[in-house]
Chains A and B, each alone.
Chain A
Amino acid sequence: MSDEDEHIVIDIEDDDDDDDVIIVPREEKEPTPMVESAPVELPTQTRLKITVKKLHVTAKWKWCDVGEDTCGICRMEFEATCNSCKMPGDDCPLEVGVCRHAFHRHCIERWTEGASSSQNGGAKNGHCPLCRQEWKVSLRNRVAKKKKRQQTT
């Protein structure tokens, strides 16, 4: 195993336009160089010489702008992905409606498409499963994200 393999490299670049994942904290956009240039010598007041050989970086992530922590359709945590996905991310981000209710994209798509609902003859369900308001994806999240980006640049 080479030395580089031992370092954990976190890729948090997510510049896809349809991507709603925001990693917190947002400011640390490029934390990777520190991990890549090992070992690092730390300044010290004494004769003690400290060398950082290995660093485990853990990151916590969550979806922004949603209050409840589980999807009302599949009952899984938002961060745990919907039942048909294995990894969270671009394929199945959260969709937030204009009514502010959020669901996994796959879950709400299956509901609105009425794919297998033989009950109403496969008719489309145009309403939010939680409040029965008309279902429309809110664009607020993406707008907010763009603003944030402009602020950081």
Chain B
Amino acid sequence: MKLEMSNIAFTRLQRECKEVVTNTEIAQTGIMIEILNESLTDIKGQIRGPPDTPYAGGLFDLEIKIPDSYPFSPPKIKFVTKIWHPNVSSQTGVICLDILKDQWAASLTLRTVLLSIQALMCSPEPKDPQDAVVAKQYMENPALFKSTAEFWTVRFARGKSGENEDYKSRVEKLRDMGVREEEAISVLSCNNWDLNKATVYIFS
């Protein structure tokens, strides 16, 4: 096996993986990790959408990349599943969370980081946004934000609650014009579900 990371990173991750996989308490909190390669540099994370949030019922996948200098540098984590959240880019999934940047501490683990991301899903920080459009909607029109985030959960995160028929029909109209579903949902969401504005945005 080619050793791609330092011994400390590898050994620590082995312990961390055991910690997350075997702990039944973790199963109840709704976070999970899956090892994707032998050298433990690529890990898939998964967070169950917390109850009483627009993400409830959804399963959100995350891409976790472990740097060679782990745990002295933070893991690189982003959402793979599309999510409508002020602190996550609706386009790229990049997360704005201080502990993943300058507030990282060597004592943090994948488990505590995933729990922090789950907590961020419960309480967004719109004043420190990653996605300014989502943050603006969150502050100015909370009801619209909630229904949009719920729609995204159903569409992208395998959520099981009923779909908003109104939003669904607008997406279909854009699709009939030849727009990809993902783009249609994204542009409609960014334009507060105004079909005319969305159409103008796409075709101008």
Q: Which of B8-16, B80-88, B156-164, B166-174 contacts A (4 or more CB under 8 A)?
A: B8-16
Q: Size band of the A side of the interface? A: 20 to 34
Q: Are A117 and B73 neighbours in the complex by a CB distance under 8 Å?
A: yes
Complex contacts, B74 vs chain A, CB 8 Å: 119
Q: Given the known A-B contacts A117-B72, A118-B73, are A72 and B106 also in contact in the complex, defined by CB atoms under 8 Å?
A: yes
Closest to A118 in B: B73
Instruction: Give B14 Cβ to nearest chain A Cβ, in Å.
Output: 9
Complex contacts, A83 vs chain B, CB 8 Å: 7-8, 11-12
Total contacts A-B at CB 8 Å: 53
Complex contacts, B11 vs chain A, CB 8 Å: 74, 76, 83
Cβ contact of A75, chosen from B12, B68, B101, B102, cutoff 8 A: B12
Grouping DSSP codes into helix (H, G, I), strand (E, B) and loop, the B interface class, with mixed when no group exceeds half, is loop
Complex contacts, B101 vs chain A, CB 8 Å: 119
Closest to B105 in A: A129
Q: Are A72 and B72 neighbours in the complex by a CB distance under 8 Å?
A: no
Q: Which of A75, A83, A84, A129 gathers most chain B CB within 10 Å?
A: A75
A62-99 vs B, CB cutoff 8 Å, 1 = contact: the mask equals: 00000000001111100000111000000000000000
* Residue A132 at the chain B interface, CB threshold 8 Å: yes
* Residue B193 at the chain A interface, CB threshold 8 Å: no
A105-123 vs B, CB cutoff 8 Å, 1 = contact: the mask equals: 0010011001111111000
Q: Given the known A-B contacts A120-B102, A130-B105, are A74 and B12 also in contact in the complex, defined by CB atoms under 8 Å?
A: yes
Closest 7 CB pairs of A and B: A116-B69, A72-B107, A129-B107, A83-B8, A129-B105, A129-B106, A73-B106
Interface residues in chain A, defined as those with a beta carbon under 8 Å from any beta carbon in chain B: 72-76, 82-84, 107, 110-111, 114-120, 127, 129-130, 132
26 inter-chain pairs at a CB distance below 8 angstroms, sorted by A residue, are: A72-B106, A72-B107, A73-B71, A73-B107, A74-B12, A75-B12, A83-B8, A83-B11, A83-B12, A107-B8, A110-B72, A111-B106, A114-B72, A116-B72, A116-B73, A117-B69, A118-B73, A119-B73, A119-B74, A119-B102, A119-B104, A120-B102, A127-B105, A129-B105, A129-B107, A132-B105
